[in-house]
Structure 1
Amino acid sequence: MISPLTPDALRKICPPESLPFEATDELKPLDEVVAQDRAVEAITFGVGIRCEGFNLFVLGPAGAGKMTAIKRFLASEAAKLPTPPDWCYVNNFVDPQRPRALCLPPGRARVLQADCERLLAELKTGVPRAFESEAYEQNRQTILEELQKQTSDELEALRKRADALGFGLAKTASGFMIVPMLRGKPLKPEGFEGLDEEIKQQVGLRMEEVQKDLAATRRRIRDLEREAKNRLDGIDREVATSAVDHLIEEVKDNYADHAAVQAHLEAIREDVIANVDLFRRDQTGAQGQPDPTAMLRQGMDPFDRYRVNVLIEQGENGGAPVVVEPHPTCQSLLGRVEHQVQMGALYTNFLMAKAGALHRANGGFLVLEAMELLKQFFAWDQLKRTLKHRRIRIEEPGEQFRLYSTVTLEPEPIPLNVKVVLIGSPWLYYLLHGYDPEFQELFKVQAEFSDRVTRTPDTILTFARLLSTCCGAEGLKSFDRGAVAKLVEHSSRLAEDQDKLATTFSHLLDVAREACFRAGRNGHQRVTAEDVRTAISAKIRRANRLEELLQELVLDRTLLVDTEGAVVGQVNGIAVIQLGEYHFGKPSRITARAFLGRGGIIDIEREARMGGRIHSKGVLILSGYLGGRYVQQTPLALSASLAFEQVYEEVEGDSASSAELYAILSSLSGLPIKQGFAVTGSVNQRGEVQAIGAVNAKIEGFFDVCRARGLTGEQGVLIPASNVRHLMLREDVVEAVAAGQFQIFPVHTIDEGIALLAGREAGDCGPEGTFPDGSVNGLVQGRLREMAEQARAYAGETPAASPAADRHDAEVG
């Protein structure tokens, strides 16, 4: 017979005296990634390599501190990298719809913006002042007077030539016209009609000659006016050039090593000279009333064309940027072009182009939550396209789906040099890797965070330093070493392994925060072990209402679970119910009925479509075990039904397969099974009991039922021997075992388990394939052979003993 586990094997204690400190406030803060060597190696490689496509996907369980670790690690690495340049947008004077991008050294974009603002202010005052000079007015007046004299001379000469031919010039609103003259007076139309035909013909010929002369005079006057205008424009250009050149040159001197900036300043000079009237225009009318055009331009300053839109300005601290974008939409990633409404119309210009997260992270690192990214419309495709082409293009999302085209800006794309870090769960990584070929090309570095780490003195000390860092950052009370020891034990319980610590630091730190709250309520200067124990119990109490309800149903025997006595074909199994992050064990009665037949083992849960695939697999294994173990030389003439009593949800998993096999063996042998025991563990076809999950919750679930009904010392749980290392049971369970009130047995094989449950030796197989008489296996083998003989006899007797059947067969034939 196997022996029960000792209390020391049920929970690995962390002795407070083994910790090399009295309290966490003695420890140095932690500034490195905790116990994730594999992930750190991958991140170091992914950050260091500069080849295209080596972006990172950081995967791991929720609460493992992936985001915190990544931000801390990237901040350290980014400080070693050079500071990326500034970027700004300026007006494209050739095509204003396509603003130009300028690249400047860190911190220079804001300087350029200030220089251009100062230049604009000086132009607004300097240009009008230049046109107010006396020399300019004199030159302008001279040209205008010359034009007027030349025009007068031309008209006077025309008048004389027309008078010689008998015509005069009359000035009208539209210009000059030819009028026939008679005796020095204009000839009226009725007078002209009264002339002889010959005279009228002569007058017409002379009029044609005068009209040609008038047309030629008009052309000469237009040429004179055009020449005068060119001279005036030349004077204006000379004055504007003299006023603008020295101002532009002063700014250009500051950017002698930036050809793109100098080219832009030269374009400003040409545009100012070409549009000098913009600086000379008075913003109010002659009567002092507001100019309607000026009112229309409110919010649309025509001088915006000379300003600078600083898109990205790097800080003065140095290093590369680390940007975490919590809401990665298309616009928040790629930037956007804003609009203003003016008199019912949308208006925009290059100053309304805004940077996105990729702009801010350019030259550094961009951290994104993978699930949040995939939830945003178009964001995933736009990010892949941007990374593939290595340039950031600001565009409206869904532009290709618009019914009507609208005029908008198309800013010049900016070259991209960024390392993108996606953070997500393992299943999301493998889903993208399997179904998105572009994902494999763009995210070649996999950095996986483990959910557990080996429990050693070094890792315990590291955990304590992490706790100290959290306390310092959040202003929490320090933890004494007894409290730290309890948190270490709780971490191993979360990992369900005595030799591991869970890396779900978010859960552990939540417990620490609540323990700090409890310590404050209890008036403790430091958090103690009792505070931690109280916090864990309170957290469980907030989540275990359903567990207590099911316990009540078991106690009042609404749910049938026996904890005393012995019954044939009946065993206690234990299921696990998951409620959010809390799970607990629920005992259930499993029954088996064996009888003559050829149906094999009938899984009632599967037949009722309440059993999952893994559970069905576990049941099918039982037939292989029975046939190979007991009746290799005879057919298996058995039908057996298995059922989980009073279970109305889907049954999944194979952890109850050993319990089901015990119930079948009991039904075949006729030996009752002790109901003070519960069983968990899967089984293979060779009868070996295999490890299962949630072993602690299963043991505690049955223990709670037994304790409520009264512990007798004859109760316990059978678990797979390979699960012993996973035991981190509650302290009350360990105390009950130490007091001899409860037992936990490690089982290697079905023979060990059935011997314990039936209170009889299982029996070893002899050389002829038989088992000792009276043993459990002997009784089972005997019963199966008896069934085979009965089936053979029944099959041989049926045709001869039933003449009616013979007649029926003949009729059918």
Structure 2
Amino acid sequence: MPVSPLPPDRLYVACDPADLPFATTAELPDSDAPVGQDRAVAALTFAMGMAAEGYNLFALGIQGTGKESLVRRHLAELAAAMPGPDDWCYVHDFAQPHRPRALSLPHGRGRPFAQAMAALIEDMTVALPRALDSEAVAHRRQALEQELKARQEAAFGDVQKAATEHHLTLVRLSSGLALAPLGEDGEVLAGDAFQKLPEARREALKRDMARLQEQLDHLLRQMPRWERDTRRKVRALERQVAAEALDHLMEDLKAEMADLPQVLEHLDAVTADIVDNLREVLRGEAEGEALPAALASQPGGPLAALRRYRVNCLVHHADGDTAPVVVEDHPTQPNLVGRLEHLQHFGALIADFNLIKPGALHRANGGFLVLEAHKVLAHPFAWQDLKRALKAREIRIEPPGQASGLLPTLSLDPQAIPLRVKVVLLGEPMIFYLLSEHDPDFRELFKVAADFDYRMARSPANTRALAGLLGTIARREGLKPLSRDAVARVIEHGARLVEDQGKLTTHMASLADLMREADHLAGLENAATVGQAHIEAALKAQIARLDRVREHIQEEIEEGTVLIATSGAEVGQVNGLTVMQLGTTLFGRPARISCRVRMGRGELIDIEREVDLGGPLHSKGVMILSAFLAARFAEDTPLSLSASLVFEQSHGPIEGDSASTAELCALLSALAEVPLAQGLAITGAVDQTGRVQAIGGVNEKIEGFFDICAARGLSGDQGVIIPASNARHLMLRADVVEACRDGRFAIHPVETVDQAIETLTGLPAGERQDDGGYPAGSVNRKVAARLAALHRRQRQLYGEAPDPARGRRLGPREEDKAADPG
């Protein structure tokens, strides 16, 4: 006999508002506790507590299950109990100018250090010129110059004295100093007068002039050396004065940084470099006075030399800060590992350590970093450089592609910063599975997975927890509180979302959107609370906004453009149920499935597959039908039929095996020549033994056929046949449940294809008897008889059966032997 329809109380499991111990959600306390995610919370706690390398976390789950909010909240609680990390600064390395040096300072001291150095540079531009132009330094500089002048005059005086003793004198020519003879009157002898002197006198004067000229030349050669010595003494004086001035300027800073040897070492290096390049620094200051400070201090500007004494505070934490929790929503490679910016100067790009900018890894160092997996994977080099930083446990700032050798030159190579961070990746399950399968580094670096479930048990505890969470969302977003019956309706909708009477959704994004839209509708009515009617109206509005395609399809069915029968009976024709998803909307669409049989070679033709419209799962379902038919009706003889199955008026791909039960019923009807009731639609997969298996989208499929029947008028003979295992998934619309309660519509649960065929035909399916046959009048008897008739007719026509293996015909005896080789 056909199975009994499901009673109305099994079509929808309501939430009794009396079970909710509150009037409105305003009475419920705030709750941040995750609902239904115990497994994920345990994994998150474990990963964050593991100090061993590689225990980073991948939080996997569909979007909207609260992964990010739960992770952020949990990490914030952990970070609050952890000390603040160190500050990091970059300074100029005077030994290796191309390799800026990274300095670690206790948290809260990085920015004050940078500010102190900026103030020091500003004070230095005033103090150094003032110290070097002081009266004391001027006197000492003048004394050195006078000492040089006195030495020069003394040396020239000695030469002049020796020349006078030998009747010679020094004369200044355009080419320099020279010696000339003197006459008796003390005047310089001209050329003719010198030639008139006695030869002995001339020779004596020449010898004396040559000897003194050599002494004079030696003196002239010594004078540049004396001047250099004087300049060195002046520079040494200036260096000493500058060093004393800098020591005075740095006195307070060094006292403040006395506990940081690296900083003191850097300050000493700064002092030494300023003293060594004092003239360059002073010249830049003089030239920079005529320009705005912002321009003068840029790379390539007059004050560019002073930039190397600055401190680039890369990461700063204020006093009292705890461990950071950084969420990077745009994880490009530079945003992750930092970047080196450039400034344009006369057409050239110039960079220095002051233009180094931090990345998310710098900001999260000593704490936690949260990233979305698909965004990291979408940006070139981001994933590779993230893995490299985690494996090396250091942050190295490089241009994108530098590590891959795509950039042949590098202007700066900043010193790497040690990395200590826990990374949490958020992503869809498929991303996690693909990375686990194809990236060995991923398994080493992300050893813990927090699997966020999309559903949870519909227990009293979870129901109350969900109600508390709804109230918390309402208060945080300034929404109106929900009444008890509104919460009950939201809970029922949560069960509908996961298609399970005993489960609730954990997709809080959907429920939060529903609350916001219901709050808007309640506001239009000036209601103080959100009631059940507002929730119902919001749900209907969500459907109506995306219901255009479904309405058009239903109109075409009602007008007869798309042929769907809801009354009468037809042979080899059945109403199948499909489901369509367009964006976020899901709706059922009835489809006519027809089957035609004829004599053939045991072929079951899937027309959808033949024209490349059938997907692999659908083709699998059709092949199962062939196996079922052969196992039940052709154990001893070959099938002598050719059957074709098709979804009528189908213009797109068909995928899934949820129509295989309907196709099998159409096939059996065509073979038995027994009509199927057209007021019934059927859905369900089937296995090779004829057991009907559960499918998805059962609520939408039932409602899709119900809408067609309701539009034409419910007769009481209409309904839907579903797998019995899908009964627990029913959360049908109120109008469908009401029609079933009134006997105008029915939901028939079946466990086997025999139950389905009995419900569709009103005839018994028939069980195999001891002699291998089936009872008279049963559908299976009719099918077996039809197959036997086709087989006999084939033998009558050909006198033989086809041999598909050899491509020739077999005689009757050969056929019997082929059918039973034993």
Structures share a fold, TM > 0.5?
yes
SS of residue in 1 equivalent to 2:774: coil
Q: 1:798, 1:688 → 2: CA distance?
A: 32
Query: Which residue of 1 is the match for residue 622 of structure 2?
Result: 619
1:366 maps onto 2:377 in alignment: no
SS of residue in 2 equivalent to 1:523: coil
Q: 2:705, 2:293 → 1: CA distance?
A: 86
Query: By how many angstroms is 1:194 displaced?
Result: 13
Query: By how many angstroms is 1:318 displaced?
Result: 3.1
For residues 90-146 of structure 1, the C-alpha deviation after alignment (integer angstroms, 9 at most, x for no partner) is 222333332221111111112222333444444444444433444333332222111
Query: Which residue of 2 is the match for residue 783 of structure 1?
Result: 786
Query: Which residue of 1 is the match for residue 104 of structure 2?
Result: 103
Q: 1:690, 1:320 → 2: CA distance?
A: 53
Query: Which residue of 2 is the match for residue 42 of structure 1?
Result: 43
Query: By how many angstroms is 1:674 displaced?
Result: 0.5
1:792 maps onto 2:772 in alignment: no
Counterpart of 2:47, as a letter, is: G
Query: Which residue of 2 is the match for residue 176 of structure 1?
Result: 176
Coordinate RMSD, CA, aligned: 3.1
Q: 2:292, 2:502 → 1: CA distance?
A: 82
Q: 2:309, 2:430 → 1: CA distance?
A: 52
Alignment of 1:577-588 (within 5 A): 577-588=580-591
Query: By how many angstroms is 1:59 displaced?
Result: 0.9
Q: 1:664, 1:407 → 2: CA distance?
A: 73
Query: By how many angstroms is 1:165 displaced?
Result: 7.4
Counterpart of 1:244, as a letter, is: L
Counterpart of 2:37, as a letter, is: Q
Query: Which residue of 2 is the match for residue 241 of structure 1?
Result: 243
Q: 2:516, 2:43 → 1: CA distance?
A: 32
Question: Among residues 307, 311, 317, which one is paired with 1:308 in the alignment?
Answer: 311
Alignment of 1:586-601 (within 5 A): 586-601=589-604
Alignment of 1:219-258 (within 5 A): 219-258=221-260
Query: Which residue of 2 is the match for residue 652 of structure 1?
Result: 655
Question: Among residues 379, 385, 390, which one is paired with 2:388 in the alignment?
Answer: 385
Query: Which residue of 2 is the match for residue 809 of structure 1?
Result: none
**Larger deviation, residues 15-24 vs 206-215:** 206-215
Alignment of 1:713-732 (within 5 A): 713-732=716-735
Query: Which residue of 2 is the match for residue 62 of structure 1?
Result: 63
Q: Aligned in 2, Cα 1:168/1:590: closer, same or farther, shift over 3 Å?
A: farther
Q: 1:479, 1:670 → 2: CA distance?
A: 58
CA contact (8 A) 1:283 1:291 kept: no
Question: Among residues 666, 669, 677, which one is paired with 1:674 in the alignment?
Answer: 677
Q: 2:31, 2:555 → 1: CA distance?
A: 47
Query: By how many angstroms is 1:62 displaced?
Result: 1.5
Counterpart of 2:245, as a letter, is: A
Alignment of 1:199-598 (within 5 A): 209=211, 212-277=214-279, 290=290, 300=301, 301=303, 302-399=305-402, 408-598=411-601
For residues 164-197 of structure 1, the C-alpha deviation after alignment (integer angstroms, 9 at most, x for no partner) is 7787655467x73436658554767x99999999
Q: 2:759, 2:358 → 1: CA distance?
A: 72
1:736 maps onto 2:734 in alignment: no
> Unaligned stretches of 5+ in structure 1?
800-804, 807-813
Q: Aligned in 2, Cα 1:230/1:614: closer, same or farther, shift over 3 Å?
A: same
For residues 465-512 of structure 1, the C-alpha deviation after alignment (integer angstroms, 9 at most, x for no partner) is 221121111111110011111111111111000111111111111111
SS of residue in 2 equivalent to 1:507: helix
SS of residue in 1 equivalent to 2:58: strand
Q: 2:400, 2:194 → 1: CA distance?
A: 77
Q: 2:712, 2:295 → 1: CA distance?
A: 88
Q: Aligned in 2, Cα 1:730/1:220: closer, same or farther, shift over 3 Å?
A: same
For residues 436-485 of structure 1, the C-alpha deviation after alignment (integer angstroms, 9 at most, x for no partner) is 22222211111111111111111111211221121111111110011111
Q: Aligned in 2, Cα 1:330/1:690: closer, same or farther, shift over 3 Å?
A: same
CA contact (8 A) 1:596 1:791 kept: yes
**Larger deviation, residues 556-565 vs 191-200:** 191-200
Query: By how many angstroms is 1:564 displaced?
Result: 0.2
Q: Aligned in 2, Cα 1:297/1:771: closer, same or farther, shift over 3 Å?
A: closer
Query: Which residue of 1 is the match for residue 819 of structure 2?
Result: none
Q: Aligned in 2, Cα 1:462/1:147: closer, same or farther, shift over 3 Å?
A: same
For residues 531-566 of structure 1, the C-alpha deviation after alignment (integer angstroms, 9 at most, x for no partner) is 000001000011110100010110111111100000
Q: 2:74, 2:615 → 1: CA distance?
A: 43
Query: Which residue of 2 is the match for residue 16 of structure 1?
Result: 17
Q: 2:458, 2:406 → 1: CA distance?
A: 62
For residues 266-314 of structure 1, the C-alpha deviation after alignment (integer angstroms, 9 at most, x for no partner) is 22232333344467669558xx994899986566433333332211111
SS of residue in 2 equivalent to 1:306: coil
Counterpart of 2:357, as a letter, is: K
CA contact (8 A) 1:284 1:291 kept: no
Q: 1:291, 1:651 → 2: CA distance?
A: 74
Counterpart of 2:74, as a letter, is: F
Q: 1:462, 1:789 → 2: CA distance?
A: 69
Query: Which residue of 2 is the match for residue 3 of structure 1?
Result: 4
Query: Which residue of 2 is the match for residue 77 of structure 1?
Result: 78
Query: By how many angstroms is 1:658 displaced?
Result: 0.6
Query: Which residue of 2 is the match for residue 773 of structure 1?
Result: 776
Q: Aligned in 2, Cα 1:404/1:18: closer, same or farther, shift over 3 Å?
A: closer
Query: By how many angstroms is 1:72 displaced?
Result: 1.1
CA contact (8 A) 1:128 1:279 kept: no
CA contact (8 A) 2:401 2:407 kept: no
Per the normalisation by structure 2, the TM-score is 0.91
Q: Aligned in 2, Cα 1:752/1:103: closer, same or farther, shift over 3 Å?
A: same
Q: 2:98, 2:166 → 1: CA distance?
A: 60
Q: Aligned in 2, Cα 1:204/1:94: closer, same or farther, shift over 3 Å?
A: farther
Query: By how many angstroms is 1:19 displaced?
Result: 0.8
Query: Which residue of 2 is the match for residue 137 of structure 1?
Result: 138
Moved over 6 A (4+): 163-167, 190-208, 291-295, 400-407
**Larger deviation, residues 128-137 vs 524-533:** 128-137
1:687 maps onto 2:657 in alignment: no
CA contact (8 A) 2:489 2:532 kept: yes
Q: Aligned in 2, Cα 1:131/1:608: closer, same or farther, shift over 3 Å?
A: closer
CA contact (8 A) 2:794 2:801 kept: no
Q: 2:87, 2:95 → 1: CA distance?
A: 24
CA contact (8 A) 1:168 1:186 kept: no
**Larger deviation, residues 291-300 vs 333-342:** 291-300
Q: 1:404, 1:784 → 2: CA distance?
A: 74
Q: Aligned in 2, Cα 1:95/1:211: closer, same or farther, shift over 3 Å?
A: farther
Query: By how many angstroms is 1:627 displaced?
Result: 1.6
For residues 411-457 of structure 1, the C-alpha deviation after alignment (integer angstroms, 9 at most, x for no partner) is 22111111111111111111122122222221111111111111111
Counterpart of 2:263, as a letter, is: V
CA contact (8 A) 1:594 1:639 kept: yes
Q: 1:402, 1:172 → 2: CA distance?
A: 67
Q: Aligned in 2, Cα 1:274/1:686: closer, same or farther, shift over 3 Å?
A: same
Query: Which residue of 2 is the match for residue 811 of structure 1?
Result: none
For residues 8-41 of structure 1, the C-alpha deviation after alignment (integer angstroms, 9 at most, x for no partner) is 1011101111111111111111222222111111
Q: Aligned in 2, Cα 1:31/1:317: closer, same or farther, shift over 3 Å?
A: farther
Counterpart of 2:14, as a letter, is: I
Aligned residue pairs, count: 797
Counterpart of 1:655, as a letter, is: S
